[in-house]
Amino acid sequence: MSIVHIEDAAEFDAEVLDEKGKVLVDFWASWCGPCMMMAPVLEQLDAKYPDLKVVKVNVDEAAEPAVKFGIDSIPAFLLFEDGKVTKKAVGAMPIEALEQRLGL
């Protein structure tokens, strides 16, 4: 599965909240160095977990979902299961740490 890039709140609802199964959402921004460092980690997760949908939300382009879920620091990662948040991790980290924090 390839990483999905969200551009507005309606797309977020369709791709994340209405989705069955696990969806990992990365809240990021192009000016955020740690966010850029996490891009290859997300590519690895996408390849490693075929049942996990990976979605990226640029907080500058689609601010509504970030506000709705209380994102006040980026990069922030929310794991949704059947449209509900089950885990959260904040900050740049190696893949192993992110997997552990999200229970993957």
Location of structure tokens 């959260």: 88
Measured between alpha carbons, how far is 9 from 5 in angstroms, rounded to an integer?
A: 12
Helix (H) or strand (E) holding 48: helix 33-48
- Has 85 been annotated as catalytic? no
- Has 35 been annotated as catalytic? yes
Task: List the structure tokens of 78.
Answer: 């929310």
Pick the catalytic residue from 32, 38, 79, 102: 32
Name the 3-class secondary structure at 58.
Answer: strand
Pick the catalytic residue from 25, 35, 41, 55: 35
Neighbouring residues of 40: CB distance < 8 A, sequence distance ≥ 6 = none
Please identify every residue annotated as catalytic: 32, 35
